[in-house]
Amino acid sequence: MTETVFRAFLPELVDIRRRLHQMPETGYEERQTSAFVADLLSGWGLEVTRDLAATGLVATLDRGGDGRAIGLRADMDGLPIVEETGAAYASRTPGMMHACGHDGHTTILIGAAFRLLHDDDFRGRVHFIFQPAEETAGGAARMIGDGLFERFPCDAVFALHNYPGLAAGRFSARPGAMMAAIDAATLTVRGAGGHGARPEDTVDPVVAAASIVMALQTAVSRNVPPQEAGVITVGAFHAGSACNVIPDEAVLEVSLRATDPAVRTRLCRRFEEIVRLQAASYGAEARIDWQVGYPVTMNDAASVELAAAVIRDTFGDDAFAPLDRPMMGSEDFAFMLEKVKGAYLFLGNGDSAGLHSSRYDFNDALLERGPAFLHALARRFFA
């Protein structure tokens, strides 16, 4: 395929990205997005399988080859954020926007499919995986549970995520831990409420919960080796409704992150011990309701080496910047990397607003380099 063909298609690819930006949908609600992508790719002649994990889909390009297959994944979901970009193509869905660039990721994968379709010399099998519900609901795990890799076996999987603050068009990754695991918990501290003037007749859940918050500040500093990384954040504390009433319960929302599976296990265990014993010391009871956690995003070293070589050969040595340490954010592509070797890479979004900001927008300049990288990666994988 000549670059001329793709360059002629680029304005349409930008239009596709901006159309997707206007119709953000949250996890497992990506019906319009999924239908749009499926109709487009099936219209190009790709074999499309719909309804994996409710709204996910896989499009397959099979050009023979040596029997191996590569998986290329993009996430599709938006976020419940009111957009404040002022863009002409801003979200048309009240209270929702693409604040993490998943509209761009989806469009990059569409662009990669276009390039590979128009490459008459390409030989190999590519599964283009369009995943729902990355943000909070573990769509990758659900796709796997629906038989993703049994129905579409892959010998390696790769994914990109835009990264504000990294120079536009520059790639970055590291072998081993790339992003942290996350576990989330709702902690309910149950006491016995009463009049604020008679605390001796109550079991005050506010005081017990406050003690838990403070005790958790030592969970990392006194349980995780200084060479490792861990974070526990109490992001919400809900209790009471009046200054003269001691409530019956307090509710905390907590997240735990670690870049090593063993540290993750240790932090979760220590969290449960601290919560239980601190609550008991005040005569209160504590219940922990765990939400779906994401494992450590663990890159295969050989896959990172392959991707870096492709980037340097295609765009120059400066186009790849090794990541020196794992990021503490989390990513459910980790579930796929637990099943199949591969790599997760950042692609610089330039000097933009940060991810999950109401002023964030995906950099359309990446719609040239992103598809070109995935195209070159697929060719090199089967070389």
Q: Which residues are annotated as a binding site for Mn(2+)?
A: 100, 102, 135, 161, 356
d(CA 191, CA 206) in angstroms, rounded, equals 9
Phi/psi at 58 (nearest 5 deg)? -130, 130
Residue 10 has, within 13 A of its CA and on its CB side, a CA count of 15
Closest-CA residue to 196 (of 250, 242, 249, 245): 245
What are residue 84's phi and psi, to 5 degrees?
Answer: -130, 30
Q: Yes or no: say if 303 and 342 are a contact pair by the CB < 8 Å rule.
A: yes
State both tokens at 161: 């995520």
Q: Which two tokens stand for residue 48?
A: 């499309």
> Which residues are known binding-site members?
100, 102, 135, 161, 356
Q: What is the Cα Rg of the chain in Å?
A: 23
- The residue whose two tokens read 């949250």 is 26
Q: 164, 355 in Cβ contact below 8 A?
A: yes
Cβ neighbours for 19, distance < 8 A, ≥ 6 positions apart: 36, 89
Report the distance separating Cα 191 and Cα 204, nearest Å.
6
Strand-pairing partners, residue 88, are none
Whether 191 contacts 205, CB under 8 Å: yes
Q: Are strands 47-52 and 194-195 parallel, antiparallel or unpaired?
A: unpaired
